[in-house]
Amino acid sequence: MGMCAHLPPSAASVLATLLEGNERYATDAPRHPHQGRETRASLAEGQHPIAAILACSDARVPPTLVFDQGLGDLFIVRNAGQVLTPGALASLEFAVLELGVSLIVVMAHEACGAVRAAAATFGGDDVPEGHLAQVLAPLAPAVAVAARRGDADEGVEALACRSGEAHLRMTVAALRNAGPVIATRVADGRLGVAGLSYELASGRTHLTAP
């Protein structure tokens, strides 16, 4: 539990549960809990998730499977690049206020297409088609931070990798201070926020932003 020591006890316990489930998933020993008829029937009366997850829309990163959880266990908010949009924040606040979750996880992953696109267009004149620009704009500050810390001659892939790490840390920091609903509960120990990064090939998550 040492890696969870920065979190309130209730949030640390939930994070430990998620990491244990991820280990089962990564070692091909999932339990696939809470997926039967009785679970479905009980959930018709209401939901009681143990955590809220802000995750990327990437089809390779399904949080329920990655953490070996079941129906009703996770309240999941997903968009390209796990961006803390007003809508995402409102959904997370709902999970805190109405569902009583004690932990919010920001879940990033390697080889994120949204982050790579933001890195590829950084400092250039290319304008993405359609509404994609609205997705990339919130990622630009993280790319800028990564660019300042890197080599001027580095390629897009290296910049994207460091941008993803910066974006995760910046999102966790922003979420911890996001308005009275979340910030107050983080400050008084009723809520924890953690950042995890997911490896596509191994299937493992790592605590990146405690």
The whole-number average pLDDT for the span 94-108 is 98
Q: Is the pLDDT of residue 1 over 70?
A: no
Condensed to tens digits (0 to 9), the pLDDT of residues 152-177 reads 567 889 999 999 999 999 999 999 99
Task: Give, in order, the Cα–Cα distances in Å from 119 to each of 23, 74, 138, 157, 191.
Answer: 31, 31, 12, 8, 32
Structural domains of the chain, with CATH: 2-209 (3.40.1050.10)
Structure tokens at 157: 């892939």
Contact 164, 82 (CB under 8 A): no
User: What share of the chain has pLDDT > 90, as a percent?
Assistant: 80
Task: Give, in order, the Cα–Cα distances in Å from 118 to each of 9, 57, 76, 81, 83.
Answer: 37, 16, 24, 10, 12
Condensed to tens digits (0 to 9), the pLDDT of residues 19-40 reads 999 999 999 999 999 999 999 9
pTM: 0.93
Q: Is the pLDDT of residue 63 over 70?
A: yes
pLDDT of residue 68: 98
The mean predicted confidence, pLDDT, of the chain is 92
Q: N- to C-terminal Cα distance for the chain? A: 13
